[in-house]
Chain A
Amino acid sequence: TQLLEQSPQFLSIQEGENLTVYCNSSSVFSSLQWYRQEPGEGPVLLVTVVTGGEVKKLKRLTFQFGDARKDSSLHITAAQPGDTGLYLCAGYSNDYKLSFGAGTTVTVRA
């Protein structure tokens, strides 16, 4: 089983600040996904990145896939309380197996 490590495990910031969450592995992934999970709900897909070096932007969220396709980052600009949640990265290996990181709990204080 491929191991995806997320850092930090917990992150608490003030509204308006920026934050970055990292997802690292020693293995190569064919694609990588980011999910957000809110209490009492299942994970919801935010983005899928496929190409090494790819950068995708969704409003205030920027996702980057590493050149070697072993790591990824999620950057949130001017965080809002609505960004609070558990952020999960997940990577697809070439045999279509999806492995998840343990998650980063983000708290944005008003």
Chain B
Amino acid sequence: EAQVTQNPRYLITVTGKKLTVTCSQNMNHEYMSWYRQDPGLGLRQIYYSMNVEVTDKGDVPEGYKVSRKEKRNFPLILESPSPNQTSLYFCASSFVRGGYEQYFGPGTRLTVT
């Protein structure tokens, strides 16, 4: 089954404790991205990657890091989480940037206290 998986689905952590949210896709997609979703603001892109070892900032990259060492994986790293990073996070993938068929993961709800 074609899918994007994320782990964990739910995470409660404290300010400053480094965390990683994993994302994996099994569709051999080149393009992957991370979004955060906040009430009234919609989905905002954090980072994206057009291929292995190629990453770039989206609209709200501050406080986040990413890496793309393998085509299928695109982890999101919060080195020092803060309460304003409490949000619902989605990983997405498509064959190429601008590809019409974009697949989203199930989401990770992060709470930083």
Contacts and interface: CB of A to CB of B under 8 A. Distances in A.
A82 interface: no
A44 B104 CA distance: 7
Contacts, number: 42
A98 B35 CA distance: 11
The secondary structure that dominates the B interface is loop
A66 interface: no
Size bin of chain A's contact surface: 20 to 34
Contacts of A40: 106-107
A62 interface: no
Given A40-B107, A96-B97, A101 B102 contact: no
B4 interface: yes
B41 interface: yes
9 contacts: A31-B100, A42-B4, A42-B105, A42-B107, A48-B100, A96-B98, A100-B42, A102-B40, A102-B42
